[in-house]
Amino acid sequence: MKAIVHTSPQGIEGMALQGFESTVPKSGEVKIQLKSAGLNHRDLFVLTRHDEGEPPFVVGSDGAGVIVEAGANVNNVKVGDEVVINPSLNWYTKSPAPPEEFGILGFPSNGTFAEEVVISAENVEPKPTHLNWTEAGVLPLAALTAYRALFTRGNVQEGQHVLLPGVGSGVITFILQFAKAVGAKVTVTSRSESKRQQALELGADRAIDSEGDWKEALNDEKADLVIESVGAATFAKSLDRIKPGGTVVTFGASAGDEISLNIRNFFYGQYNLLGTTMGSRDEFREMLQFIKKYNIKPIIDKTFSLEEADIAFKRLEAAEQFGKIGFTISK
């Protein structure tokens, strides 16, 4: 089968569309013929974590397709079923943090930018019927992360003010839609005027410049909940915009991992700082029900063929996208 395989050197240059050995599903596993897949920032990061000398691997965490083969002891799905893939491995029930065995599909295990993938049947769910293949393929990782960040960890409530730095992010576009669905008031930030405009069209109440003065742009107003994924470039500004007793949920650091923190301001403000990452199968299923109930569809930035993978990766690397970048794999 054909797949986007990373060998070496590290980074996008070490990646190519090439033949890769097809595997047979073992007990409890299924083989999925992929129709579509979606790109995440993680797919870029893992290319720099894959050391020379380690075996080549197929990139990609997100995907949707049709089951074409099932191993023994598979009872929840059957050949012919249309499914979405839950890339959160070995984390089944909602818990404060993932279990030690938790992993993410697409490094070190072989992922979804391929004609087919073999995974545990525990990691497939019926494809939401209101989504087309492109939408289903880009949904899983970002929508799951968004759901846990906003609901399980952020405990958002109707009428609260939610601040979302870096609205160009795929995850943040989901959080924007989810937060509006439950009646929150949403402010987004972006460095791009056109992304700010797109966010307003998507339902944001306010869109401000990430690089400007947030205090002034918000007339000194503060948020109940900030969901931070940009990292070093915006973290201090985010902390400065929470109400006393408010919460920051963080799950990403696109613009740097290290920040400095004034502890005194932090404890006087009685703030809550919560980490989150992906989510459990319980939350994946809740997210699928939620998007069905509110008829939410992923925002698609652009779609590419696997032959155009390097263009897609470079678009994400340059943060040119608004929403999700998808791959069309088969019709």
Ligand X SMILES: NC(=O)c1ccc[n+]([C@@H]2O[C@H](COP(=O)([O-])OP(=O)(O)OC[C@H]3O[C@@H](n4cnc5c(N)ncnc54)[C@H](OP(=O)(O)O)[C@@H]3O)[C@@H](O)[C@H]2O)c1
**Which one, 121 or 142, has the nearer CB to ligand X?**
142
237 binds ligand X (CB under 6 A): no
145 binds ligand X (CB under 6 A): yes
Give least dist CB 31 to ligand X, A: 26
Instruction: Identify the bridge partners of residue 325 per DSSP, sorted by sequence position.
Output: 39, 302
Helix (H) or strand (E) holding 89: strand 88-89
319 binds ligand X (CB under 6 A): yes
Give least dist CB 96 to ligand X, A: 15
Q: Considering only residues 172-211, where is the footprint of ligand X by CB under 6 A?
A: 190-192, 195, 210
Give least dist CB 278 to ligand X, A: 4
Q: Select the residue interacting with ligand X from 91, 133, 251, 284 (CB under 6 A).
A: 251
Nearest to 36 by CA among 323, 306, 329: 329
Nearest to 143 by CA among 225, 84, 80: 84
**Cβ proximity of 178 and 202 under 8 Å:** no
**Cβ proximity of 199 and 209 under 8 Å:** no
Across the beta sheet with 15-19, the strand order is 15-19, 2-6, 57-58
Q: Which stretch binds ligand X (CB under 6 A): 20-28, 253-261, 263-271, 305-313?
A: 253-261
Q: Which stretch binds ligand X (CB under 6 A): 120-128, 141-149, 175-183, 241-249?
A: 141-149
**Cβ proximity of 61 and 83 under 8 Å:** no
Q: Select the residue interacting with ligand X from 249, 278, 296, 309 (CB under 6 A).
A: 278
**Cβ proximity of 164 and 227 under 8 Å:** yes
Q: Which residues bind ligand X (CB under 6 A)?
A: 40-42, 141-142, 145, 166-171, 190-192, 195, 210, 229-230, 233-234, 251-255, 277-278, 316, 319, 321
